[in-house]
Amino acid sequence: MDTPTKSYVPILRWRLAEMTALEKLFPDDRQKVTPLVEFIMPAPTTDPNDRRKVIEKPREKFLRRLPETAKKLLKFCGRSSIFVDVHLLDGDIRASSFKQILESSSALDIFSIPVVYIIPVTSTSADMDTRAVAVKYAKSSGHGLCLRIDRAHLEEKDMPARIMEFVKINALDIKNVDLLVDLQIVDGGASADDIAEQLARLPELTKWRSFVVSGGAFPKDLTELEVFGTHPLSRLDWILWNALRDSKKLSRVPTYSDYTVQHPVFYGYIPGASVSASVRYADDGQWQVFRGQALGYINKKPGQKGPGHKQSLGYARALVGQSFYKGETYSFGDAEIKRMADTSNQKTGNPQKWLSIAINHHVTLAARQTANPVENTGGRSARIPSTVLSR
């Protein structure tokens, strides 16, 4: 059968910013993308007058919303292939929630068109109940399964044998299984040659339905960047993929996957975290980050409030004047940036809105780059030497 996996697999968390970014993709770009949706525990609902007072705990909030998940998947993801991963959910509700998501999606008849798939994601280290849910659904639906291997396990000597044992024990057809290797943080600490050698150890590389390599290079936060500055950050995950694409050590070119403009490690809800006004914009081989002051900043000496959300409008106006801005017709996100930049606009948006804009633009760019990687790299990230990531 043909693989349902397209040329780009963005990893997105189950939050409104990410899902709106996905929903707003132009149809042609959406057809180039197979998103991997990671379900997460939501932030608690707190009293607006006293943030220390929790009104609804994450577990209660997630379970209350769970029955509507299938309809929301259809709304945000449309009738196209998606991977679904629940490993970030609390362990005691992980398997049951996974089962409910998959079963309710089938009941909603999301799969009425043959080319539409929800592909369950599991791993060799997943708990047995969650693994059983994924395997059962993979077989009953005929959609197959995605086997996700993280970097720590990739480095284990017996991993090739464990992968094949997983396939055998669960009576899976390797031709109906997607193999996804998640390198997680890509920071230049290992050369592309070394990573290619590790990947080459994987068993039956040419037989899997798809072979995906993921990773992320966006920083955990922006605290290391100077306030009121514009900072270019290398898209090391994209650079690495280009090097792997050219590697003669691999018998198969991997499908590109990343974490868009977010850090690959999910830390969950952090109480009291300071949020700055920032605009993130993906360019061909790097991100341009406009880093502002904390939204709640107060100059203690005069007791004067900082510029707050208005900073975002200034950054939008600065961005549309840059040579790397791709124009308002490029994506929904770019159109929103242009609209925000208009001098007649006084609506600043919030961090969720700006994250959604950044992700929509990034996914659009990466989808077009991977669909035609040589022509769409702008000459700045194509055919990159495999030693580029060596320190």
Query: Rounded CA gap, 252 and 275, in Å?
Result: 42
- What is the per-residue pLDDT across 154-168, written as a single tens digit (0 to 9) for each? 989 999 999 999 999
Q: What is the DSSP letter of 66?
A: G
Residue with tokens 């996957």: 257
Check if the beta carbon of residue 25 is closer than 8 Å to that of residue 2.
no
Q: For residue 136, report the phi and psi dihedrals to the nearest 5 degrees.
A: -60, -45
Check if the beta carbon of residue 119 is closer than 8 Å to that of residue 146.
yes
Task: Label residue 43 left, alpha or beta by phi (over 0 means left) and psi (-120 to 50 means alpha).
Answer: beta
Query: Rounded CA gap, 130 and 14, in Å?
Result: 18
pLDDT of residue 305: 63
Residue with tokens 């791709």: 326
pLDDT of residue 379: 36
pLDDT of residue 109: 57
Q: List, for the chain, all residue ranges whose pLDDT scores fall below the cut of 70.
A: 1-2, 108-116, 271-274, 293-308, 373-391
Domain residue extents for the chain: 8-371
DSSP-derived 3-state class of residue 304: strand
Query: Rounded CA gap, 144 and 134, in Å?
Result: 9
Query: Rounded CA gap, 233 and 219, in Å?
Result: 9
CA 260 to each of CA 32, 139, 215, 257: distance values in angstroms, whole numbers, following the listed order: 15, 31, 9, 9
Which residues does residue 211 pair with via DSSP β-bridges, in sequence order? 179
**Angle, alpha carbons 96-92-84 (nearest 5°):** 50
Query: Rounded CA gap, 59 and 201, in Å?
Result: 40
Query: Rounded CA gap, 11 and 216, in Å?
Result: 10
CA nearest 284: which of 316, 239, 319?
239
DSSP-derived 3-state class of residue 294: strand
8-371 is classed CATH 1.10.10: no
**Angle, alpha carbons 246-257-282 (nearest 5°):** 95
pLDDT of residue 382: 35
Query: Rounded CA gap, 110 and 16, in Å?
Result: 20
What residues contact 379, with CB distance under 8 A and at least 6 apart? 284
Portion of the chain with pLDDT greater than 90, in percent: 69
pLDDT of residue 262: 96
CA nearest 258: which of 186, 193, 200?
186
For 382, what's the count of Cα atoms within 13 Å in the CB-facing half-sphere? Answer: 10
DSSP-derived 3-state class of residue 147: strand
Six-digit token pair at 209?
A: 């339905």
Query: Rounded CA gap, 166 and 378, in Å?
Result: 41
Instruction: Report CA Rg, the chain.
Output: 21
pTM comes to 0.91
Q: How far is CA 139 from the centre of its chain?
A: 26
pLDDT of residue 78: 80
Helix (H) or strand (E) holding 374: none
Task: Label residue 349 left, alpha or beta by phi (over 0 means left) and psi (-120 to 50 means alpha).
Answer: left
DSSP-derived 3-state class of residue 243: helix
pLDDT of residue 77: 87
C-beta atoms surrounding 187 within 10 Å: 15
